């Protein structure tokens, strides 16, 4: 009995040091609906396969029982192929030796495509700061987006990496919507999403905003039907990472660092 206790203790100690997994998710389509799993909760070796013991269990004939292995290491998250009959692919290239994964990669396991998202490493380089209002501008901006002051004389050496707050992802081949500080994801009357600045977006009747512990759906009604995990939404609702939303017939999953 003490041995078992000690082993469990060792495991939890080992897993607690795996910071690179924070905000790491896999997204794929199964049976016509979008699925998302936060692999940070699954341990140091994540099996992908048709075996019922696989952490990522894919019930598809094209998938081998033990098809691919995701190894969580301090130097990154590595993908290893295990299938002899139907090798795993990464961004269209066959995986012969273990490869380290990057945010935005698309894995192919049998006939199933899986999007790899690592929010911990997703960031963008900020542009020049306005000398008048001190707001951050996109890298290619000529005049300040807020006050119109010319950015020609703005210090171009002011560059910082802005961490990603929130991602709304669709099917693996589709470009996700990334929300950075000061931005929200607003939907128009047809349910089409666009990332807009939070200032001046007060009229958005339907939007996803980042919060301290996840995200929140702002829903003012009068829009295309919205479903959260297959249940119709009637008003403002808190969202957590992995939640599935359906807006105007479009399926998407919410990904946060939590
Ligand atoms: Zn300005």
Distance 138 CA to ligand 1 centre (A): 12
* Residue 10 burial by Cβ neighbours in a 10 Å radius (0-12, 13-18, 19+): exposed
Is pLDDT at 10 greater than 50 in this prediction? no
Distance 151 CA to ligand 1 centre (A): 8
3-class DSSP state for residue 252?
strand
Distance 136 CA to ligand 1 centre (A): 8
Torsion 185-211-166-130 (CA) sign: positive
Distance 246 CA to ligand 1 centre (A): 37
pLDDT at 158: 55
H or E stretch including 68?
strand 68-73
Distance 140 CA to ligand 1 centre (A): 15
Distance 146 CA to ligand 1 centre (A): 5
pLDDT at 157: 53
Distance 184 CA to ligand 1 centre (A): 20
Distance 133 CA to ligand 1 centre (A): 4
Distance 144 CA to ligand 1 centre (A): 5
pLDDT at 5: 33
Average pLDDT score over residue span 4-31: 54
User: pLDDT tens for residues 176-221?
Assistant: 999 988 889 999 888 889 999 888 777 778 999 999 888 999 998 7
Distance 135 CA to ligand 1 centre (A): 6
Distance 129 CA to ligand 1 centre (A): 8
Contacts of 97 (CB under 8 A, 6+ apart): none
Distance between CA 115 and CA 112 in Å, rounded? 10
Contact 241, 256 (CB under 8 A): yes
User: pLDDT tens for residues 66-123?
Assistant: 999 999 888 889 999 999 999 999 999 999 999 999 999 999 999 999 999 998 887 7
Distance 167 CA to ligand 1 centre (A): 27
Distance 194 CA to ligand 1 centre (A): 23
Contact 69, 45 (CB under 8 A): yes
Global pTM reads 0.79
For the beta sheet containing 33-38, the strands, ordered from the edge strand earlier in sequence to the opposite edge, are 33-38, 24-30, 112-118, 106-109, 89-90, 93-94
State CA 46 to chain mean position distance: 18
User: pLDDT tens for residues 22-44?
Assistant: 678 999 998 888 999 988 778 88
Is pLDDT at 175 greater than 80 in this prediction? yes
Distance 158 CA to ligand 1 centre (A): 15
Distance between CA 198 and CA 179 in Å, rounded? 10
Average pLDDT score over residue span 112-139: 83
pLDDT at 206: 92
Residues of the chain with pLDDT > 90, as a percent, come to 52
Distance 163 CA to ligand 1 centre (A): 22
């Amino acid at each position: 009995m003490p041995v078992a206790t000690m082993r469990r203790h060792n495991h939890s100690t080992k897993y607690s040091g795996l910071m690179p997994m924070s905000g790491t998710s896999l997204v794929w389509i199964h049976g016509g609906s979008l699925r998302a799993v936060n692999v940070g909760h699954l341990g140091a070796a994540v099996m992908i396969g048709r075996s019922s013991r696989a952490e990522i269990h894919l019930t598809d004939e094209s998938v081998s029982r033990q098809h691919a292995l995701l190894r969580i290491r301090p130097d990154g998250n590595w993908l290893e192929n295990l299938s002899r009959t139907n090798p795993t692919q990464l961004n269209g290239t066959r995986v012969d030796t273990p490869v380290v994964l990057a945010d935005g990669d698309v894995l192919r396991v049998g006939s199933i495509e899986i999007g790899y998202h690592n929010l911990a490493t997703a960031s963008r380089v900020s542009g020049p700061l306005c000398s008048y209002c001190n707001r951050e501008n996109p890298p290619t901006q000529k005049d300040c987006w807020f006050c119109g002051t010319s950015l020609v004389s703005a210090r171009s050496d002011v560059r910082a990496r802005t961490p990603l707050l929130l991602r709304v992802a669709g099917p693996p081949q589709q470009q996700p919507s990334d929300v950075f500080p000061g931005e929200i994801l607003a939907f128009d009357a047809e349910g089409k999403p666009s990332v807009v600045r939070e200032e001046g977006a007060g009229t958005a009747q339907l939007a996803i905003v980042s919060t301290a512990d996840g995200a929140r759906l702002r829903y003012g009604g009068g829009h295309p039907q919205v479903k959260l995990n297959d249940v119709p939404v009637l008003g403002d609702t808190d969202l957590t990472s992995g939640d599935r939303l359906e807006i105007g017939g479009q399926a998407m999953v919410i990904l946060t660092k939590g």
